[in-house]
């Protein structure tokens, strides 16, 4: 898991081949005006999901996990709280992993909670279970999905 400001993204681009293209997308001037939904960058290997969502609160945010994609979760506006816990410390499955949606959930509660400020991002690798949308306000965010095998 990585937490940083977008202006620091060059320090992390070398962590995985697809991250630099994801950061390029986030640096675009028109990012704030993009409509909600999926935006293709490089087919199924790299794409963005723009969302305007209401936070679920700490009690409504469950640990999710992915196996095929790395998440870059970038906050445009609002106040986000995200929970985190290493996958190998999660034990109670809430929803079995679905290869089609690349998503599963744990019932475990996160061991750590952190704040993501506007113009900041968090990167979650497959070994990172994470509970986004744990705040209570309205969020405008972009999730870049980077294929692990990019």
pLDDT (mean) for 88-109: 96
- Cα angle vertex 106, ends 23, 113, to 5°? 55
Model confidence over 46-64: pLDDT tens digits? 999 999 999 999 999 999 9
The whole-number pLDDT of residue 11 equals 95
Sequence spans of domains, the chain: 2-147
The token pair that represents 13 in the structure block: 């681009």
Supply the pTM of this predicted model. Answer: 0.94
Model confidence over 105-148: pLDDT tens digits? 999 999 999 999 999 999 999 999 999 999 999 999 999 999 99
Burial of 56 (0-12, 13-18, 19+ CB in 10 A): middle
pLDDT (mean) for 27-44: 94
The token pair that represents 92 in the structure block: 């109670």
Q: Hey, how many other C-beta atoms are within 10 angstroms of the C-beta on 37?
A: 9
Model confidence over 106-118: pLDDT tens digits? 999 999 999 999 9
- In this structure, is the dihedral angle defined by the CA atoms of residues 27, 30, 35 and 40, taken in order, positive or negative? negative
Domain 2-147 has CATH 2.60.120.370: yes
How many residues in total does the chain contain?
Answer: 150
The whole-number pLDDT of residue 54 equals 95
pLDDT (mean) for 60-83: 97
Sorting pLDDT into bands at 50, 70 and 90, what band is 29?
A: confident
């Amino acid at each position: 898991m990585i937490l940083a400001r977008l202006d620091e993204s060059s320090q992390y681009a070398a962590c995985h081949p697809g991250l630099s293209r994801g950061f390029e997308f986030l640096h675009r001037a028109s990012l704030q005006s993009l409509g909600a939904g999926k935006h293709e960058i490089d087919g199924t290997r790299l794409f963005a999901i723009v969302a305007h969502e209401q936070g679920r609160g700490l009690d409504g945010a469950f640990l999710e996990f992915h196996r095929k994609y790395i998440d870059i979760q970038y906050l445009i506006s609002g106040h986000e709280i995200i929970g985190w816990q290493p996958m190998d410390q999660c034990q109670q499955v809430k929803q079995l992993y679905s290869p089609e949606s690349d998503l599963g959930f744990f019932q475990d509660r996160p061991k750590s909670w952190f704040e993501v400020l506007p113009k900041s991002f968090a990167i979650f690798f497959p070994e990172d279970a994470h509970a986004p949308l744990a705040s209570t306000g309205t969020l405008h965010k972009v999730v870049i999905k980077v294929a692990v095998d990019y």
